[in-house]
Amino acid sequence: MYHPCRFLLVALALLLGSGCEHTIYELLLQPRGSVMKRTLECRRVDSDGPQGEVLRPMVQEELDRLTAIYDVPAGPTEARRFSFAGEFGGSTPADIGGAGAYRCWSSSLGTLCVYAERFRGNDDQAGVLARRQQAADRLVELIGGWLQPRLGQTRGWSQFQAFLNGALRSDLHNLALLAWAGRFAQDAGFAGAAGSADAATLARALLFLYEHGYLLAPELPAWAQAIREQGGVQDNLAPLAPLLAGAVARRSGIAADAEVLVALRRELEQKTLVDGLNAALQTAPEWTTKLADWQAREPKEAGAQAPAPVEILGDLALATAGFGPASGSAGDELRLRLTLPAKPFYTNGTWDVAALQVAWQTVLPGTENTPYLAYASWAAPAEAAQKQHFGRVLLRDQALADYVLWFNGLSKEEAVEWEALLGSLRPEAAPALRLAEFRFQSEVNAGPATAAALAASRAQPARTLLLEALAP
């Protein structure tokens, strides 16, 4: 029999993870000039057993896809660990699922490199959020359709109906947005969000329910007890009914003893609650689709129980919160490392100073979640050249990155002029004065070197960077 709170248990399992069979991807990235060497090791494991991580056979379709991407022969079918390697410039391959880019720009004073890659998930998050809010709307619609013939003639129904289509619908939209935003912050790689999204989202959702009257602080122990009791009740919501009716009264402004809320509580306590919902939802398109999907799945496990129409309410509640079937991750893990000569000036990974690597680790998102993002930017100064021109290394990290981007935006003629200037600079020959006076030939031809003309010069961004670094 379908348990009326089953969707809560499903959501909890998805939050905590089930430790089921999944794939671990260990990806090592090593920049080599304009290309990136990419070494991918993967294995299929089952971590549920008493012996910890147990190797399982890789899915053949996955192996075939990887051998095609890396253009290598397939490994032996009896193997449990597989390794692939290749060099890629520009775009990254979709080996784990996703898209990305690696690009470097050079100058005589140093180079700038940028790496960014998203893994799995869905890049159309506007569509994802819209589907979650549509699920909330449909949930309210089905609940209202079920209650109308039961409560429609009671005093206070019009006010209760206004609550369903107004405050409740809006609140569900906002809760869907809170759940989406928490996951987005973590998977999109925003600083400070990693590892905290689920707990923070739960805390924010509870505070939202408290602020809007659904929860009262003194009632929290009663809610906990009622949820425990509900675990042993499968045909109605009797343990939760008083609390649910009270929550509706506070949020809607309807008196707790109003006829419509007394009737609502009575319906929730009826032993025929689940049977009544099943009958009312028989004609819902969601039920037709769910039943057809179940019937199409072959072979079925021994003793498999057919779904019930009431399950579509749980499906819609899970979809609203972002725990729909397409949202759940398969549990696959990514362990990513990027080897660099020095710490990047911009990254959402963790710098391992001993290994000279940036590290990322995550459970890969499902197809309705935000893609996981890894990024890093680093700049390598040409120390010998900078010391030759200025007596010391002036530009590093972000300052060097700004300079390299500026230089690569020059025209061919401007780049030649600028390099000629740099080639003539020496520490003992007042480089700051030469830089302060420089303008490109086209600018010299256009008019005198006024303060305004110097400030408007295309050389000004680089001049500012170098003069600020030269200042004592």
pLDDT tens digits, one per residue of 302-349: 667 889 999 999 999 999 988 766 555 568 999 999 999 999 999 999
- Rounded average pLDDT over 250-271: 96
Rounded to two decimals, the pTM is 0.79
Check whether 278 has a pLDDT greater than 70.
yes
Which tens digit of pLDDT belongs to each residue from 412-465? 999 999 999 999 999 999 999 999 999 999 999 999 999 999 999 999 999 999
Least confident of 39-43, 235-239, 351-355: 235-239
Percent of the chain scoring above 70 in pLDDT? 89
Residue 121: which of 353, 377, 367 has the closest Cα?
367
Averaged pLDDT, 46-51 = 66
- Whole-number pLDDT of residue 401: 97
Q: Using CA atoms, how far apart are residues 147 and 135, in angstroms rounded to an integer?
A: 18
CB 358 within 8 A of CB 351: yes
More confident residue, 185 or 246: 246
Choose between 145 and 201: higher pLDDT. 145
Q: Tell me the per-residue pLDDT of 202-258, one tens digit each, with 9 for 90 and over.
A: 888 999 999 999 999 999 899 999 999 988 888 889 999 999 999 999 999 999 999
Contact 39, 348 (CB under 8 A): no
User: 49 falls in which pLDDT band (50, 70, 90)?
Assistant: low
List, for residues 68-104, the tens digit of each pLDDT value: 999 988 666 567 889 999 999 999 999 999 999 999 9
Please give the pLDDT value at position 300.
Answer: 62
Decide if 139 contacts 316 (C-beta within 8 A): yes
Looking at residue 295, its pLDDT comes to 87
Residue 11 predicted with pLDDT over 70: no
Mean pLDDT along residues 49-62: 78
pLDDT at 15 over 50: no
Please, which pLDDT band fits residue 10 given cuts at 50, 70 and 90? very low
Taking CA atoms, 33 is separated from 36, 87, 103, 140, in Å, by 8, 11, 9, 57
Q: What is the pLDDT of residue 98?
A: 92
Tell me if 248 sits within 8 A of 242, measured CB to CB: no
CB-based contact 69:43 (threshold 8 Å):
no
**pLDDT value for 59:** 85
In tens, the pLDDT along 360-399 reads: 999 898 888 889 999 999 999 999 999 999 999 999 999 9
State the pLDDT at residue 299: 66
